[in-house]
């Protein structure tokens, strides 16, 4: 038993170091892309390990700042200021706690896959478009559409030195994983960012680097004026968006992580409570919102983690790094972090998933594309709402199939049977079929094959019968 426990501790210790090395550059990169100090990304990673990591839910997935919320956080910081970020995240954490206590976690699995993929694709496109500017040390314009249209004039603005650093970083991110042995020992993000920092430092390249403020200077506790903004409609909408999108991303990640190992399955409600507790603490500290992140979680599983101790320890390593050697952040080129996020953003665009959907479910591809487009043109929250509305409309359309069969019985007249689901969506088709019937023949209308008849169709059928000079006399078998 002691030997087994020792092995578990050794496996979790090694996995925690691997996850720490993966999380470190990502925490910093997500913070920079979100428009906040780099230290706040590390604070969120620390809380993700020490708070969410210690709570029950999913034993092996790892939490921290995620690229999936970068666009929404940047918009919120730009609109309300960095000072309001803590209140937004704190409110989102409380919403998540409420959803978990009410046992609503499992309902997040009912969201259309096309909407989720469209959300990720839209986030990925906006993220890539924004970070392309940072690759060349250029400030990106506001809004997803502005970032895309600005790409036309971007080449003349790029700094060639910074662009070279960013391009080399992307090359390392793509090539390093091909060396299986090396990739198992040191993750590609750390190698890429480390090499970029070393090269720019050794050769004294003039590129923009991460600004270091210190952990205590970066952390900002919410003030009374910030808390009072929770009465504003726009702020409340942002809080709900944070909560729902962070919850969805975390629970979708949990489902993916469960497929990677044979251990205990995720308790969705408890995981939602853990995420809510973590975001509540992040809000108090004025840090970035937290979600479970599939990249770090997959690294944790692949490194051989067996218990939640690995994700807690990864938070410990982040804390030690932030306290002991915070000055190291100041040597990291911003272009290298931008390259890291461009690489991550491209992975969010589900090219293979679109190909699979196109073969058998082209309507789902429409939902995906519309969702992504709405996010790029508008914003993340509005885009997701548009996608959900379109998915519901598509489902209603697919479920409302109605079929009209006509049987000619000679002198006895015509028997018309209406089968399926008669809803207002199929009303034009139903009325076209009925109005095409000859008016000089007796018609018997049978509705016994209908599984559903809504009010609009019922009223239309009564109007059709009245137009023929007779009334409907039954619900399952009508004669006109």
Alpha-carbon 71 to chain mean position: 11
**Integer angstrom CA distances of residue 82 from 89, 93, 133, 232:** 11, 18, 22, 17
> What pLDDT is attached to residue 469?
63
Q: For residues 41 and 392, what is the distance between their CA atoms, to the nearest angstrom?
A: 36
The residues, any chain, with a CB within 8 Å of residue 127's CB and separated by 6 or more, are: 33, 67, 70, 71, 341, 342, 344, 345, 348
Q: For residues 266 and 254, what is the distance between their CA atoms, to the nearest angstrom?
A: 7
Cβ count within 10 A of residue 159 = 17
What token pair was written down for 276? Answer: 């809510």
Q: What is the pLDDT of residues 172-217, one digit of tens each?
A: 999 998 888 877 778 888 889 899 999 999 998 989 898 877 777 7
Backbone angles phi, psi at 452, to 5 degrees: -155, 135
- Whether 350 and 343 have beta carbons less than 8 Å apart is answered as no
Closest alpha carbon to 42 in 61, 26, 19? 26
Q: Could you write out the three-class secondary structure of 393-459?
A: HHHHHHHCCEEEEEEECHHHCEEEEEEEEECHHHHHHHHHHHHCCCCCCCEEEECCCEEEECHHHHH
Which residues in the chain land under pLDDT 70?
A: 1-9, 109-110, 142-144, 469-480
> What pLDDT is attached to residue 474?
43
- Whether 322 and 42 have beta carbons less than 8 Å apart is answered as yes
Indicate the fold that domain 402-479 takes in CATH: Transcription Regulator spoIIAA (3.30.750)
Closest alpha carbon to 243 in 69, 28, 53? 69
> What pLDDT is attached to residue 278?
96
Q: What is the pLDDT of residues 13-63, one digit of tens each?
A: 888 888 888 888 889 888 988 889 989 999 999 999 999 999 988 888 999
Closest alpha carbon to 420 in 443, 388, 454? 454
Question: Domain ranges in the chain?
Answer: 2-393, 402-479
What does the DSSP assignment read for 358-375? HHH-HHHHHHHHHHHHHH
How many residues belong to the chain?
A: 480
Q: For residues 242 and 247, what is the distance between their CA atoms, to the nearest angstrom?
A: 8
Instruction: Name the helix (H) or strand (E) containing 29.
Output: helix 2-33
> What pLDDT is attached to residue 107?
79
> What pLDDT is attached to residue 109?
67
């Amino acid at each position: 038993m002691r030997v087994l426990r020792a092995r578990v501790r050794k496996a979790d210790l090694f996995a925690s170091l691997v996850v720490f090395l993966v999380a470190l550059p990502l925490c910093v990169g997500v913070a920079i892309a979100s428009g906040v100090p780099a230290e706040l990304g590390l604070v969120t990673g620390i809380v993700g390990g020490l708070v969410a990591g210690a709570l029950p839910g999913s034993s092996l997935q790892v939490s921290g700042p995620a690229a999936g919320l970068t666009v929404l956080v940047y918009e919120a910081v730009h609109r309300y200021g960095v000072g309001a970020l803590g209140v937004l995240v704190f409110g989102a954490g409380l919403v998540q706690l409420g959803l978990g206590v009410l046992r609503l976690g499992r309902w997040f699995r009912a969201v259309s896959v096309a909407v989720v993929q469209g959300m990720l694709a839209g986030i990925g496109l906006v993220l890539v478009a924004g970070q392309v500017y940072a690759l060349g040390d250029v400030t990106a314009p506001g809004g997803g559409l502005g970032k895309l249209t600005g790409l036309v004039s971007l080449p003349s603005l790029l700094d060639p030195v910074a662009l070279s650093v960013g391009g080399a970083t992307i090359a390392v991110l793509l090539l390093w994983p091909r060396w299986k042995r090396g990739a198992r020992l040191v993750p590609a993000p750390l190698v890429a960012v480390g090499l970029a920092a070393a090269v720019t430092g050794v050769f004294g390249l003039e590129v923009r680097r991460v600004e270091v403020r210190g952990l205590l200077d970066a952390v900002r506790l919410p003030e009374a004026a910030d808390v009072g903004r929770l009465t504003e409609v726009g702020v409340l909408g942002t809080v709900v968006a944070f909560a729902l999108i962070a919850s969805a991303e975390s629970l979708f990640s949990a489902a993916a992580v469960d497929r990677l190992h044979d251990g205990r399955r995720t308790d969705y409600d408890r995981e939602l409570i853990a995420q809510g507790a973590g975001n509540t603490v992040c809000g108090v500290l004025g840090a970035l919102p937290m979600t479970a992140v599939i990249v770090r979680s997959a690294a944790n599983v692949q490194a051989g983690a067996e218990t939640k101790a690995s994700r807690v320890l990864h938070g410990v390593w982040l804390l030690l790094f932030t306290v002991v050697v915070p000055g190291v952040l100041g040597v990291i080129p911003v272009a290298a972090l931008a390259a890291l996020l461009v690489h991550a953003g491209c992975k969010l665009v589900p090219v293979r998933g679109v190909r699979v959907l196109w073969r058998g479910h082209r309507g789902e591809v429409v939902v995906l594309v519309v969702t992504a487009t709405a996010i790029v043109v508008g914003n993340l929250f509005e885009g997701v709402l548009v996608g959900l509305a379109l998915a519901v409309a598509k489902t209603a359309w697919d479920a409302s199939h109605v079929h009209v069969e006509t049987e000619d019985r000679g002198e006895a007249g015509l028997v018309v049977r209406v089968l399926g689901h008669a809803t207002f969506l199929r009303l034009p088709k139903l009325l076209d079929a009925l109005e095409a019937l000859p008016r000089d023949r007796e018609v018997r209308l049978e509705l016994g094959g209908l599984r559903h008849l809504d009010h609009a169709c019922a009223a239309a059928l009564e109007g059709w019968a009245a137009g023929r000079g007779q009334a409907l006399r039954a619900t399952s078998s009508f004669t006109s």
